[in-house]
């Protein structure tokens, strides 16, 4: 073979990298490249985007590691669909290898790249790396895609074995890395049109090294995961989602780690990794979910979509403390605990009666770990429009959720300074305080902290009517 080009995308690591492993196994001269894709970057709303900062830092680390191993990372800035075919032709390789993507826009880009490469006599291979089981590897006994999680999980656990979890890259093959004829530099973040962010203050450590440290820290508390994961005031979950998003950690390594311990904590955590695979296969089999409800009957819901209520939700001023604290944390840091994502998604759709796609879009713009498959799948779960979703008549009570999952109001006080002196008995529903109590604790409702924008009991009935009306 004349050589191969390993095109890094959402697999920004050396460890267990399937695309690089494949290129090194098949070719004696392997170049590596990453493209800051102007089509993706141009669509981002903020110039201070932590995701771009994360990628930029991770690419920098990857480049250093490849250089230490005797290769290099060619870093380009432009339209990937142009840059990759040009680069492959200029390097004279006969194959481009990349990690398989499952998002419709990425698939369209890859199809175009493959076509243009083919016209120059160059092959394009996309290999599975992001998930354990992809596409149709796991089907029901009737040969159909799973739409219910528990049987999917059982089948997943039955099938997973050494073959699926094997290392995809032999370190000894790294000697086949080649240095490009012309070295490229890593553009500054500002040259890409972005500003440095408060990534570190958000508790995020980028790169493969950051992923390893994050995982190591989590292993110290993983055995308590099942008992503690639902409490936002605790630091009980892994914080690895952004690393899963950009492939700074190998999903196979995570699964191997979880399986090697077999405690209740690791079993619960493994189930979350399986949810991740589940939503990837939903997206693969039903790409229409990016536009519409998975369940056809709920595509007919006539959402009132009140713009003012949506703005109150976005800005964390609904008057419901748990919802407001969550949105304020999201806006300030880009991080949000899973329990809170469920609570605010339920509140937006079933209390404020706003289309789940509005919330999905807002999360896509703000979450550090935004991932199309997981975000869409979970929004459809919360809105009861998805496969195996929360039944539409199970509507979270935002006050009860607050009492249950932040009983001491620790999380609420962290994000809502106006509630700092509100007595414990009132912190979850401060509007229930008498005027005298409000004055005494310095939290006058409507002045220091908003009055509830809706009445949960009333909205609950309206939501039920809305869903019932949509059903045949
Ligand atoms: C409305 C809503 C939107 C969401 N949007 C996203 C998103 O854009 N990106 C995203 O990665 N997760 C999303 N999630 C799922 C979940 O909230 C996050 O994965 C989790 O909070 C990340 O924190 P962690 O890394 O500490 O997770 P942990 O609890 O440590 O879980 C381990 C890993 O499993 C995966 N995972 C965990 N829960 C889920 C889940 N429910 N669905 C799919 N994968 C899961 C993640 O990769 C995570 O890193 C969403 C959930 C909801 C309810």
Q: What is the pLDDT of residues 169-212, one digit of tens each?
A: 999 999 999 999 988 899 999 999 999 999 999 999 999 999 99
Cα 254 to Cα 244: distance, rounded to the nearest angstrom: 10
Give the model's pLDDT for residue 1.
52
Q: Per residue in 424-459, pLDDT tens?
A: 999 999 999 999 999 999 999 999 999 999 999 999
Q: Which of 338, 397, 431, 437 is catalytic?
A: 338
Compute the distance from residue 39 Cα to the ligand 1 centre, in Å: 26
Closest by CA position to 315, among listed 292, 336, 331, 333 = 331
Is the pLDDT score of 53 beyond 90?
yes
- Tell which one of 272, 323, 327, 372 to mutate to probe ligand 1, the residue whose CB is within 8 A of the most ligand atoms: 272
In the structure encoding, which two tokens stand for residue 113, read together?
Answer: 């790249």
The terminus-to-terminus CA distance of the chain in angstroms comes to 59
C-beta atoms surrounding 139 within 10 Å: 16
Compute the distance from residue 374 Cα to the ligand 1 centre, in Å: 7
Domains of the chain: 4-129 (3.40.50.620), 131-167+208-285 (1.25.40.80), 296-470 (1.10.579.10)
Is 338 a known active-site residue? Answer: yes
- Whether residue 276 has its Cβ less than 6 Å from ligand 1: yes
Is 195 a known active-site residue? Answer: no
**Which pLDDT band, with edges at 50, 70 and 90, does 313 fall under?**
very high
Compute the distance from residue 242 Cα to the ligand 1 centre, in Å: 9
Q: Per residue in 205-224, pLDDT tens?
A: 999 999 999 999 999 999 99
Cα 308 to Cα 144: distance, rounded to the nearest angstrom: 43
Q: Per residue in 1-25, pLDDT tens?
A: 589 999 999 999 999 999 999 999 9
Tokens 């990857």 correspond to: 62
- Whether residue 146 has its Cβ less than 6 Å from ligand 1: no
Q: Per residue in 349-385, pLDDT tens?
A: 999 999 999 999 999 999 999 999 999 999 999 999 9
Dihedral, 72, 52, 86, 16 alpha carbons, nearest 10 = 50
Tokens 């039903």 correspond to: 286
Is the distance from CB of 6 to CB of 98 less than 8 angstroms?
yes
């Amino acid at each position: 073979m004349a050589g191969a080009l390993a095109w890094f995308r959402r697999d920004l690591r050396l460890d267990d990298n399937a695309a690089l492993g494949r290129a090194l196994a098949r070719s004696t001269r392997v170049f590596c490249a990453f493209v800051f894709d102007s089509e993706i970057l141009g669509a981002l709303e903020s110039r201070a985007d932590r995701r771009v900062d994360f990628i930029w830092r991770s690419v920098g680390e990857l480049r250093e590691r490849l250089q230490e191993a005797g290769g290099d990372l060619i870093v380009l800035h432009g339209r990937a669909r142009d840059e990759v075919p040009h680069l492959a032709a200029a390097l004279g390789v006969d194959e481009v290898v990349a990690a398989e993507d499952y998002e419709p826009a990425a698939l369209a880009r890859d199809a175009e790249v493959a076509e243009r490469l083919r016209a120059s006599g160059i092959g394009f291979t996309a290999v599975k790396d992001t998930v354990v089981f992809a596409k149709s590897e796991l089907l029901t006994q009737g040969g159909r895609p799973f739409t219910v999680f528990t049987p999917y999980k059982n089948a997943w656990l039955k099938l997973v074995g050494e073959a699926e979890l094997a290392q995809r890259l032999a370190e000894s093959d790294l000697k086949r890395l080649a240095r490009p004829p012309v070295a490229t530099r890593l553009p500054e973040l500002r040259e890409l049109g972005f500003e440095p962010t408060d990534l570190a203050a958000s508790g995020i450590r980028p790169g493969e090294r950051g992923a390893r440290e994050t995982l190591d820290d989590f292993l110290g508390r993983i055995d308590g995961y099942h008992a503690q994961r639902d409490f936002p005031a605790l630091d009980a979950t892994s914080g690895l989602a952004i690393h899963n998003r950009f492939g700074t950690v190998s999903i196979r390594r995570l699964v191997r780690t979880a399986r090697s311990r077999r405690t209740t904590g690791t079993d619960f955590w493994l189930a979350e990794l399986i949810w991740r695979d589940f939503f990837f296969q939903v997206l693969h089999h039903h790409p229409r979910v990016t536009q519409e409800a998975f369940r056809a009957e709920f595509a007919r819901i006539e959402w009132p979509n009140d713009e003012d209520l949506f703005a109150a939700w976005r800005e964390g001023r609904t008057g419901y403390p748990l919802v407001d604290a969550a949105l304020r944390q999201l806006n300030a840091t880009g991080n949000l605990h899973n329990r809170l994502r469920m609570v605010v998604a339920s509140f937006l759709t079933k209390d404020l009666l706003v289309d789940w796609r509005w919330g999905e879009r807002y999360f896509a713009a703000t979450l550090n770990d935004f991932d199309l498959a997981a975000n869409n799948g979970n929004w459809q779960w919360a809105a009861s429009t998805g496969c195996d979703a929360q039944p539409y008549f199970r509507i979270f009570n935002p006050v009860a959720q607050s009492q249950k999952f932040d009983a001491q109001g620790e999380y609420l006080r962290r994000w809502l300074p106006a509630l700092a002196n509100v007595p414990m008995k009132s912190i979850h529903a401060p509007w229930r305080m008498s005027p005298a109590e409000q004055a005494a604790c310095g939290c006058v409702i409507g002045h220091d902290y908003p009055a509830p924008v809706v009445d949960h009991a009333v909205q609950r009935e309206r939501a039920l009517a809305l869903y019932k009306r949509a059903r045949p």
